[in-house]
């Protein structure tokens, strides 16, 4: 095992792209893979590559993320989000590497009235949520498995809510946005930084008590409506934003109405400071404007 190597899987997505940028200032050496160069649904392929790289940590950002499509493609979603993570955990065990796996607020049903802690009962209400929970279970069954749940991810990379709103805001005079789904926007760059802090800590200490589940999002709370208003205010977009209920915008997959996380555990364990979502949004918009 090379104690200085981290392998990032799913390196072309929002989170993987942020990890690529942040890797320049991290002392570890990095290997970045995305599909089809690496396929987490094929264990032999995984094992061959990772045995050769012999990383101290594997950071898994690969996932099937088409939430609505997962309702009709649940087998494919499970192959990636569930069985793919099982393969990763088994390969990580074979090469004695830490596995840091990214999960989602969709493992909860969103019926809570206070921020979710890691030990709260899961109850996914979508195929996507069920497949992500399966992956969590495989990751946490491994003694060096770390699961980081996040929510409402956006970035200057890839397709996401912020970029969609900027495009629609420029095209339209008004926009309907749901106000009865509440959570916290999470800047993928902040999450990437937290994942590296976990990898650094876990690989340097090799402390097995660090394994388990953690919650990470930015600080603060808002609805999708509030989030959109903030984006438009910061960018001086004159498009009118109208609040609507989720029932007025039906989707194949049910979304959690409440996705707020308690982040006390990750902050205490890894001495991570988490920025407020409004500050991080400004950082992302500044980057997009460059």
Residues with catalytic annotation?
128
| Contact between residue 77 and residue 32 where contact means Cβ atoms under 8 Å apart | no
Dihedral over alpha carbons 225, 18, 81, 252 (to 10 degrees)? 20
* Burial (0-12, 13-18, 19+ Cβ within 10 Å), 183: buried
- Residue 20 DSSP label: H
| Rounded distance between C-alpha atoms, residue 243 and residue 237, angstroms | 17
List, in order, residues 6 or more apart from 227 with CB less than 8 Å away. 152, 161, 185, 277
Please say whether the dihedral angle defined by the alpha carbons of residues 35, 50, 153 and 191, taken in this order, is positive or negative: negative
The two tokens of residue 259 are 């996705």
| Contact between residue 171 and residue 137 where contact means Cβ atoms under 8 Å apart | no
Q: Which of 52, 22, 137 is nearest to 89 (CA)?
A: 137
Q: Could you give the angle at the alpha carbon of 187 between the alpha carbons of 122 and 158, nearest 5°?
A: 100
Which of 109-138 are b and which e, b meaning 16 or more Cβ less than 10 Å from the residue's Cβ?
bbebeebbebeeebebbbbbbbbbbbbbbb
Three-class DSSP category at 174: strand
The DSSP element (H or E) to which 102 belongs, if any, is strand 98-104
């Amino acid at each position: 095992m090379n104690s200085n190597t981290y392998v990032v899987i799913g390196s072309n997505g929002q989170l993987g792209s942020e990890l690529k940028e942040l890797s320049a200032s991290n002392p570890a050496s990095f290997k970045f893979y995305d599909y089809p160069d690496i396929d987490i649904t094929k264990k032999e392929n995984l094992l061959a590559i990772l045995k050769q790289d012999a990383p101290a940590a594997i950071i898994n950002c690969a996932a099937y993320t088409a939430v609505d499509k997962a309702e009709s493609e649940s087998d494919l979603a499970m192959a990636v989000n569930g069985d793919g993570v099982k393969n990763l955990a088994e390969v990580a065990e074979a090469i004695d590497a830490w596995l840091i796996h990214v999960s989602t607020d969709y493992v909860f049903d969103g019926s809570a009235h206070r921020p979710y802690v890691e030990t709260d009962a899961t109850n996914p209400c979508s195929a996507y949520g069920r497949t992500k929970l399966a992956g969590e279970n495989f990751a946490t069954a491994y003694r060096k498995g770390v699961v980081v749940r996040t929510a409402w991810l956006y970035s200057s990379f890839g397709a996401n809510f912020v970029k969609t709103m900027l495009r629609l805001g420029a095209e339209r005079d008004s926009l309907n946005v749901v106000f009865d789904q509440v959570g916290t926007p999470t800047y993928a760059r902040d999450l990437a930084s937290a994942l590296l802090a976990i990898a650094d800590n876990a690989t340097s200490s090799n402390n097995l008590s660090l394994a388990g589940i953690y919650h990470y999002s930015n600080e603060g709370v808002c609805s999708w409506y509030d989030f959109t208003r903030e984006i438009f205010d910061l960018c001086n977009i004159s498009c009118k934003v109208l609040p609507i209920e989720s029932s007025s915008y039906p989707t194949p997959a049910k979304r959690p109405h409440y996705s707020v996380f308690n982040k006390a555990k990750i902050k205490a364990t890894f001495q991570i400071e988490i920025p407020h979502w409004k500050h991080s949004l400004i950082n992302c918009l500044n980057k997009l404007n460059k």
